[in-house]
Amino acid sequence: MAQQQLPDSPPLAPAGSGDPGPPAAGTGGPPTTTATGANALTGSAGATLARYLHDQATAFLRALSLRGEHETEADEQLRASARRIGGVLHIYAPLTDPAWAEPLRAELGWLAGTLAREPQYAGRLLRLLEALRRLSAAADPEAPDGASGGAGAGAGQGADAPSGEEAPATPAPSASSGNGAPLALGAARAGALLDRQLTLARTRAHSATLQAMGSSRFHALADSIAVLASEVPLTAAAESPAATVLPPLAAQADRRLAEAAGALPLLRAAHPYNAEAVQAALGTELTADLQDSPWHQVRVLLRLSRYAAEVCRGAGPDDEAAARRLSAAAELLARHREAAESAAAVAAAARTPRIAPATAYALGVLHADQRHEVEAARFAFSRLWQPDDRPEDPDDDQGDRGPRRSPVPGARKE
């Protein structure tokens, strides 16, 4: 889909208008494949940047035109393009007019954030129900587990059964005073509670998205992107050759990423079962936030680094390998964030007034489980990021897993 021509009048139809638009394929495809080709660094820096922005703007406008039919896929593409345009304008800021780029970036951030919310809540609910299902698995390893998304515990009561209110004052249910049955029932109730809360959040996010897409604010943004598809307000610096201007700016993004990632406690995280992420699971949320935010920050810098590389990437095998590594790392940090935010959602659900103790217990198990997922993602990331830095024998540290005993490494460069 290299250098596809824009339709003469970009379909700026508001959401749901059903405008078919150009029958371009691949709005659901992987958004990373932008066709800048092998000769990205020939010509002027401005031309290369404009080509990338043009591609993204085209993808954005095409997704917009398809939104009536395939809302989810279209929104995903809108978000991906919005992030890429915003990110690239940030990284290659010296090449574009700041008076034009800065407000556009702010609007792109608003749109990407708005569009992100609904899929986040949907994914979080699926993730938590799946975890609950796993945590309340029956003893029989041959038990059918095909039913997706159900927190069906072994108590003969599916996740959907307590669809009404959370029974506030009833104690543990009768006929289940035996081994663990109340806990299994608690899992079903916890699933129902999370389902209610996250479905409500999702519905609200959907309404907010619809409202945003119909707003004049969005129409103005879409107009700006349409302009971007045809011409980019460049600065004088953009007239220099791409090969001399773009790589240093991309390298700067890489450097920021390497510094931030190097400051993470990677050595620590490379030890399996270090029990750090689950630490403070019962403390204030601030503890988890303080611990998680450097990792989230690296996730953002990783994204910027990937977008920067997309603009000036050749097709060499080195670039391919580097791109794959960044992509894998991004996936791990995305999982890190999903787990961290899911854990926070569980903690929030546990603060619902008058829930039954069995429900609270199940939420506690689920919270700790998600914090362990956070730890697992950190482990995988640290192994990926510093493969040479592995401890010789991870068994050695099983003895001293005290959270504060082993020194956290200082800021280390990659």
Q: Is 282 in the site for a second copy (CB under 8 A)?
A: yes
Residues 201-240 that bind a second copy (CB under 8 A): none
Q: Is the distance from CB of 122 to CB of 338 less than 8 angstroms?
A: no
Q: Which of 45, 57, 238, 347 binds a second copy (CB under 8 A)?
A: 347
241 counts as binding a second copy under rule CB under 8 A: no
Site for a second copy contains 293 (CB under 8 A)? no
Among 232, 295, 375, 386, binds a second copy (CB under 8 A): 375
**Rounded to the nearest 5°, which phi and psi values hold at 139?**
-65, -30
Residue list 186-205, contact with a second copy (CB under 8 A): 186-187
Pick from 171, 214, 316, 391: which binds a second copy (CB under 8 A)? Answer: 171
| Smallest distance, a second copy to C-beta of residue 376, A | 4
Query: Is 102 among the residues that bind a second copy (CB under 8 A)?
Result: no
Binding part of the chain for a second copy, among 23-31, 105-113, 225-233, 351-359 by CB under 8 A, reads: 351-359
**108 near a second copy, rule: CB under 8 A:** no
Burial 332-356 (b: 16+ CB within 10 A, else e): bbebbbbbbbbbbbbbebbeeeebb
| Contacts (Cβ under 8 Å, ≥6 apart) of 47 | 242
Output the smallest distance, CB 284 to a second copy, in A. 4
Count of Cβ atoms closer than 10 Å to residue 320 Cβ? 12
Hey, which residues between 244 and 273 contact a second copy (CB under 8 A)? 272-273
Q: Which of 239, 285, 320, 414 is close enough to bind a second copy by CB under 8 A?
A: 285
* Largest Cα span, the chain: 79
Question: Quick one: 55 or 292, whose CB is closer to a second copy?
Answer: 292
Stretch that binds a second copy, among 14-22, 35-43, 210-218, 369-377 (CB under 8 A): 369-377
Q: Is 132 in the site for a second copy (CB under 8 A)?
A: yes
User: Binding to a second copy by residue 357, rule CB under 8 A?
Assistant: yes
Residue range at the interface with a second copy (CB under 8 A); choices 5-13, 101-109, 310-318, 380-388: 380-388
Distance linking the first and last C-alpha atoms of the chain? 36
Stretch that binds a second copy, among 72-80, 96-104, 198-206, 375-383 (CB under 8 A): 375-383
Q: Measured from the CB of residue 208, what is the shortest distance to a second copy in angstroms?
A: 24
Among 39-47, 133-141, 243-251, 312-320, which window interacts with a second copy (CB under 8 A)?
A: 133-141
In angstroms, rounded to a whole number, what is the distance separating the alpha carbons of residues 361 and 345? 15
Q: Tell me, by CB under 8 A, how many residues bind a second copy.
A: 73
Residue with smaller CB distance to a second copy, 238 or 363: 363
Q: Does 350 bind a second copy (CB under 8 A)?
A: yes
Least separation, in Å, of the C-beta of 328 and a second copy? Answer: 8
Q: Are 234 and 96 in contact (CB under 8 A)?
A: yes
Task: CB nearer to a second copy: give 144 or 248.
Answer: 144
Any contact of residue 326 with a second copy (CB under 8 A)? no
65 closest CA partner among 93, 103, 27, 118: 27
> Which residue in 137, 200, 220, 321 binds a second copy (CB under 8 A)?
137
Nearest CB to a second copy, comparing residues 282 and 315 = 282
* Of residues 226 and 363, the one with the C-beta less far from a second copy: 363
The answer to whether residue 147 forms part of the interface with a second copy (CB under 8 A) is no
Please report whether residue 386 would count as binding a second copy according to CB under 8 A.
Answer: no
For residues 26-55, which are near a second copy according to CB under 8 A? none
